[in-house]
């Protein structure tokens, strides 16, 4: 019998819990689901009487150690800053660990000690990061094995609303952590373009976008992620001229979101009063008295962007109803206030379905040709679209959770030999996970076109 502890029972955990529950008997697993909000645990395990629920506080080292000591493998879906607390306990007690989050500098420092103990701490094994790594590395490795030279690499992922549930002018609803959506892109975006390092400051990020289409699903736009340069060596792209990883949104979203950025509404540092604050007051507090919002933003009065702001109620002289438990001191940051406003409009209803869209664009050229003629440049486009089942088993929950569940099974069955603080970039990891994901409906479609002869 193998014991698995899943810490974190939030929205992204539902499909992972189902996967673990469905495999528990055949794999001889004992599953514990834990969270500091026990009501979430009870709700998630209710359909699965053979699972056990616990209350778990990552800040309580004594009880955390007691619980983790009884496990063979730990999966952490905690907020990223808490992973390191769990990781240090797992290291001390010699337990393998999985997370869906980016490897932090603190986590990376544990690598040598994790290897010494013969453990694996596998990170970035969710959606993005996660499935993007698995699928990109499979394509890149296959192209290189066939003797091709990678010229450019672009990869975009978006958590969106499915077409059948897309019923608002923003073409967007919250399908994952709302705070992360509000604060997305802050800092400097870095990428490689035509051999040169490029930088986009936050205030320009949502006006520097790329437009493209996804077969059968229409037009999208993408903006650059914070750091694409970090994947040049990781992906083996030292000779590539362009490397960019980005986020997908529906066409028109970025220009409207840029209004919030230019106004200052995504600031998460400044505290302002929320007492008797109206929607109009909130908007007007960022404007000079002699300018309207559309004048300040240099937009037409009835532009798509202004219409989107109006749909949110930002021109209404109506008091914003703030939850007392969130703002007990009658102060909040602009980003927190914006989150409340959007949270009332971008609600994922019980009958709604979400959608994950991913696209890799990889151009390549054969290194050699028998007749020494110049080889043609080709473009591989690989696309993934996943539609959620409902508001519980969302596309986001499936694509974040299933890679974690499959990876757990592989580790417990000794199918992964890698040790240390790892990324899912090797064939022994990405090949079996992608194969099983395909049986679960997560399938990429590829097409190759000739760019130049």
Over the chain (453 residues), the average pLDDT of each successive run of 10 is: 96 96 97 96 96 96 97 96 97 98 96 98 97 98 95 97 97 90 93 97 96 92 95 96 97 97 96 94 95 95 96 96 73 94 93 96 82 78 96 95 98 97 98 98 94 72
Q: Is residue 419 a part of any domain in this protein? A: no
- Residue 376: its pLDDT value, please? 85
Task: Give the CATH number, domain containing residue 359.
Answer: 3.30.360.10
Same domain, 18 and 164: no
- Neighbour order of strands in the sheet with 52-55: 52-55, 29-35, 2-7, 73-76, 96-99, 120-122, 420-422
Residues 117 and 190 in one domain: no
Query: Residue 149: CB partners within 8 Å, gap ≥ 6?
Result: 239, 364, 365, 366, 367
User: Is residue 149 in some structural domain?
Assistant: yes
C-alpha 393/C-alpha 16 separation (Å) is 9
Residue range(s) defining the domain that contains residue 281: 271-332
- pLDDT of res. 326: 62
| 138 and 114 housed in the same domain | no
Domain count, the chain: 3
**Residues 378/365, Cβ–Cβ less than 8 Å:** yes
Q: How far apart are CA 119 and CA 352, in angstroms?
A: 41
Could you tell me the CATH number of the domain that includes residue 60? 3.40.50.720
Q: Determine the pLDDT at residue 294.
A: 94
96 and 149 inside one domain: no
DSSP string, 387-420: E-SSSSS-HHHHHHHHHHHHHHHHHHTT-----E
Residue 337 lies in a domain: no
Question: Do 317 and 441 belong together in one domain?
Answer: no
Q: Indicate whether 86 and 207 sit together in one domain.
A: no
Whether residue 225 lies inside any domain: the answer is yes
Residues 248 and 327 in one domain: no
Residue 403 domain-assigned (yes or no)? no
- Verify that 63 and 188 share a domain, yes or no: no
Whether residues 179 and 239 fall in one domain: yes
Assigned token pair, 437: 């994901």
Distance CA 75, CA 155 (A): 26
| Residue 370 sits in the same domain as residue 278 | no
DSSP conformation class of 375: P
Residue 344 lies in a domain: no
Is residue 153 located within the same domain as residue 249?
yes
Residue-level pLDDT at 375: 75
- The reply to whether 345 falls in a domain is no
Final residue belonging to a domain, choices 76, 103, 122: 122
Q: Is the pTM of this model over 0.85?
A: yes
Report pLDDT for 369: 60
Residue 417 included in any domain: no
Residue 153 and residue 77 share a domain: no
Domain-ending residue, one of 104, 122, 140 = 122
């Amino acid at each position: 019998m193998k014991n698995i502890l899943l810490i974190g029972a939030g929205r992204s955990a539902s499909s992972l819990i189902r996967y673990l529950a469905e495999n528990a008997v055949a794999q001889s697993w004992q599953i514990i689901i834990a969270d500091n909000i026990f009501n979430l645990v009870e709700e998630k395990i209710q359909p699965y009487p053979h699972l056990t629920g616990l209350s778990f506080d990552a800040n309580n080292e004594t009880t955390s150690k007691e619980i983790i000591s009884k496990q063979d493998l730990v999966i952490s879906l905690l907020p990223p800053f808490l992973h390191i607390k769990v990781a240090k306990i797992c290291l001390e007690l010699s337990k393998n660990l999985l997370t869906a989050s980016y490897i932090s500098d603190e986590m990376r420092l544990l690598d040598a000690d994790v290897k010494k103990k013969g453990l694996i701490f596998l990170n970035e094994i969710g959606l993005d990061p996660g499935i993007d790594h698995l699928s990109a590395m499979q394509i890149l490795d296959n192209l290189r094995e066939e003797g091709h030279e990678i010229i450019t690499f672009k990869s975009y992922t978006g958590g969106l609303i499915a077409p059948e549930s897309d019923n608002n002018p923003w073409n967007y609803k919250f399908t994952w952590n709302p705070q992360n959506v509000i604060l997305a892109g802050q800092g400097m975006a870095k990428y490689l373009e035509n051999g040169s390092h490029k930088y986009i400051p936050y205030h320009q990020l949502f006006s520097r976008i790329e437009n493209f289409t996804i077969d059968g699903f229409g037009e999208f736009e993408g903006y650059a992620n914070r750091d694409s340069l970090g994947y040049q060596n990781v992906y083996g792209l030292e000779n590539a001229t362009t490397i960019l990883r980005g986020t997908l949104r529906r066409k028109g979203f970025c220009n409207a979101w840029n209004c919030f950025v230019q106004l200052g509404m995504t600031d998460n540092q400044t505290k302002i009063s929320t007492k008797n604050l109206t929607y109009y007051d909130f908007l007007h507090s960022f404007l000079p008295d002699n300018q309207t919002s559309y004048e300040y933003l240099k937009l037409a009065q009835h532009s798509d962007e202004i219409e989107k702001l109006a749909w949110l109620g930002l021109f209404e002289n109506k008091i914003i109803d703030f939850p007392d438990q969130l703002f007990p001191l009658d102060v909040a940051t602009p980003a927190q206030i914006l989150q409340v406003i959007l949270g009332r409009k971008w609600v994922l209803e019980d009958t709604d379905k979400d959608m994950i869209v991913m696209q890799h664009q990889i151009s390549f050229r054969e290194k050699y040709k028998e007749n020494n003629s110049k080889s043609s440049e080709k473009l591989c486009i690989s696309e993934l679209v996943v539609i959620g089942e409902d508001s519980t088993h969302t596309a986001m929950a499936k694509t974040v959770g299933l890679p974690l569940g499959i990876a757990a099974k592989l580790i417990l069955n000794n199918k992964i030999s890698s040790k240390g603080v790892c990324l899912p970039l090797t064939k022994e990891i990405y090949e079996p996970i992608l194969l099983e994901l395909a049986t679960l409906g997560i399938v990429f479609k590829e097409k190759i076109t000739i760019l130049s002869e």
